[in-house]
Amino acid sequence: MLRMSGTSGKHDTALTVRRILKVNHAGEFGAVRIYGAQIWVARWLFPDIVPALQEMREDEIDHCRLFKEAMPARNAKPCRVMAFWSLGGFLLGFLTALGGRNMIWICTEAVESTVHRHLEDQLAFLQTKDSELHKLIASIQEQELAHLLEAEKNQTARGSGYRLLLPIIGFLTDLMIWLSTWGDSSWMRAEMANSKSA
């Protein structure tokens, strides 16, 4: 059942928009930490892929900034447990990098696939509700898709490790988003789904 926070549809939309920004900002911050840890390991073990990882990390830093800048006008705030993302993102990036260059790209594909799914739902919701934020997310989605394609292109094998790790990392990404936003990602999805059926 959808949790209602006000009497008007406009108020419910504003709440969902705030949750979208909170979830996206937290996710981008986590991605910055994942890439940062992978770069740290790759400098020692796979220096040839460091430039690509650095470029993607710079994109994520920019996305994080853009979502934070969009918050004040919509009365949104970052999640209160960014330290959770800092540690979780670093551990995920560090452990996957230790698993090898292919593991780095599998991690990137899993994370970016999860992000892409979230953004697709958000774009459908925002199309008639917040054109400015819709435009911002659409531009960010283009870069996230470029990261996904880069990860797919650079993988040398897609064996049992790929089939096992892709859904696990995707699940962990969703879980980190859920935990760090105190379940706001679930309410956000429910509110967007309710909006579609209304």
Q: What pLDDT shows up at residue 180?
A: 67
Domain residue ranges of the chain, discontinuous segments joined by +: 9-193
pLDDT band of 176, cuts 50, 70, 90: confident
Indicate left, alpha or beta for 157 from its phi (over 0: left) and psi (-120 to 50: alpha): beta
Q: Could you tell me if 75 and 18 are in contact, meaning their C-beta atoms sit under 8 angstroms apart?
A: yes
Q: What pLDDT shows up at residue 156?
A: 83
pLDDT band of 6, cuts 50, 70, 90: very low
Architecture of domain 9-193: Up-down Bundle (1.20)
- Average pLDDT estimate for 187-194: 76
Over residues 50-79, the pLDDT tens digits come to 999 999 999 999 999 999 999 999 999 998
Q: What is the C-alpha to C-alpha distance for residues 168 and 171, in angstroms, rounded to an integer?
A: 5
DSSP 99-155: T-HHHHHHHHHHHHHHHHHHHHHHHHHHTTT-HHHHHHHHHHHHHHHHHHHHHHHH-
Check pLDDT > 60 for residue 7.
no
